[in-house]
Amino acid sequence: MYFVDTMHAKGIGVIMDWVPAHFPRDEHGLARFDGTCLYEHENPLQANHPQWGTLIFNYSRPEVVSFLISSAMFFFDIYHIDGIRVDAVTSMLYLDYARNEGEYVPNEDGGNIDNSAVAFLRKLNSVILTRHPGTVTIAEESTSYPMITRPPYDGGLGFVFKWNMGFMHDTLEYMSMDPFFRHDHHNKMTFSMFYAFTENFILPYSHDEVVHGKKSLLDKMYGSYEEKFASMRVLLGFMYAHPGKKMLFMGSEFGQFIEWDYHKQLDWFMLKYERHRQMRQYVKALNAFYTGNPALYQIEDDWSGFAWLNVDNANQSSLGFLRRARTNCKPCVCAFNFTPVPVERFVIGLPSTGRLQEVFTSDDVMFGGAGRSRAESVLALPEEFAGHSFRAVIDLPPLTAVYFDFDEEEPTQ
């Protein structure tokens, strides 16, 4: 409670990891709590989690549902937390999760969805968000199960956000491969827009990605020492511009080189080295630019806030898109070069005439880049490109994210 109060005093919200999917077998815990299978199922095919060696809650029992919802509400009511991230939702939804055919008990309709778990999650979200408006509930869910973030009265589960695991896996796989081969995997950076508006997403570079031999976020990046830093800057620039809320795990903001180890503190001593100080400065500046530009976050639920400007340039592994706000502010044009060679005369389509003015680049010398920025504005020309009536031509430095203000001009009648 003291920790939460201290964070709130500094304007920081607290979201807690909360795990209703399974529980340990320890004798001092919930297993056979009253001498019977009270919290878990009696049938071993339903009770035992095959991957984690734990027990699964029996969501069909009212006392179990009451216990779990009371547990969550305790942290909201008494500790005043601001949200929960519900772990392993996928394992709750699917009766055959991590099981082979014939190793699970189907539901009453013969299917593989745990209808009791669905009902529990709907009730959980309804109770929390009714009692504590403005808080958030987040689902760690990795499948295409529909309407995770739609309200229960519309047939959804009622979560506020869902982790976008597909975005995370695709982008990290892309950035870990040799840039020479990236042109054959261009869709890993574009496919997420096919489903970006089906849920309210969080883009998670979380603790799960920097443990168990997966390498730190910086060390995942392909290339030399310098290229790793440049690659991570362009990746974060892409994530911040992409629709969806942002999540970056501690240590990544200054480029920790080794995996996270929960036994010890972060490697703060790395800040003695210039490149790590510059990475921290980059993330700090990126945060400030993002929060100061509504075009990057106001519209995240439909295509009115996003438009591809150049999506098919696989040969040069480069992309361009536009973000737009609801309020009367300038659109933001975002362009990315994911190769270690410059992309000159990169063409982008534009919806109207106007001028582009570079306002942020990951290649800034203060971030460890080469400082190849453009001071002069770029004029949109009345030539069609990528489905737009106008086009502009820009140069993209190697492994760089560049943002432009777009001063649109009203079309003449």
What pLDDT is recorded for position 374?
83
Spans of all domains in the chain: 2-163, 303-408
Q: Specify the residue for token string 């790395």.
A: 270
For the entire predicted model, the pTM comes to 0.93
- Residues known to be catalytic: 87, 140
Quote the CA–CA distance of 312 and 386 in Å, as a whole number: 9
| Pairwise CA distance, residues 30 & 24, whole Å | 8
**What's the gap between Cα 280 and its chain centre?**
20
How far are the Cα atoms of 225, 311, 313 from residue 339, in angstroms, in the given order? 15, 15, 12
pLDDT of residue 412 exceeding 90, the answer is no
- C-alpha 22/C-alpha 53 separation (Å) is 10
CA torsion through residues 208, 210, 212, 215, sign: positive
**From the centroid of its chain, how far is CA 220?**
17
Q: How many CB atoms lie within 10 A of CB 280?
A: 15
**Domains 2-163 and 303-408 fall in the same CATH topology:** no
Query: Do the beta carbons of residue 185 and residue 178 sit within 8 Å?
Result: no
Q: Which two tokens stand for residue 71?
A: 């547990």
Q: Which fold has domain 303-408?
A: Immunoglobulin-like (2.60.40)
Output DSSP code: residue 408: E
- Average pLDDT for residues 202-221, to the nearest whole number? 94
Integer-rounded Cα Rg, in Å, for the chain is 24
DSSP string over 333-361: EEEEE-SSS-EEEEEEEESSSEEEEEEEE
**Which residues on neighbouring strands pair with residue 350, listed in sequence order?**
390
How does the average pLDDT of the chain come out, rounded? 95
Neighbours of 258 (CB within 10 A): 14
Rounded CA-CA distance 248/205 in Å is 5
Residue 303, both tokens: 């295509």
CB-based contacts of 111: which residues, under 8 Å, 6+ apart?
none
For residues 63-92, give the mean pLDDT: 97
What pLDDT does residue 410 have? 66
Q: How far apart are CA 269 and CA 78, in angstroms?
A: 37
Residues 6+ apart with CB under 8 A from 327: 294, 298
Q: Decide yes or no: CATH 3.20.20.80 for domain 2-163.
A: yes
Instruction: Place 413 in a pLDDT band, splitting at 50, 70 and 90.
Output: very low
Per-residue pLDDT, averaged over 119-128, amounts to 98
Q: Is the pLDDT of residue 33 over 90?
A: yes
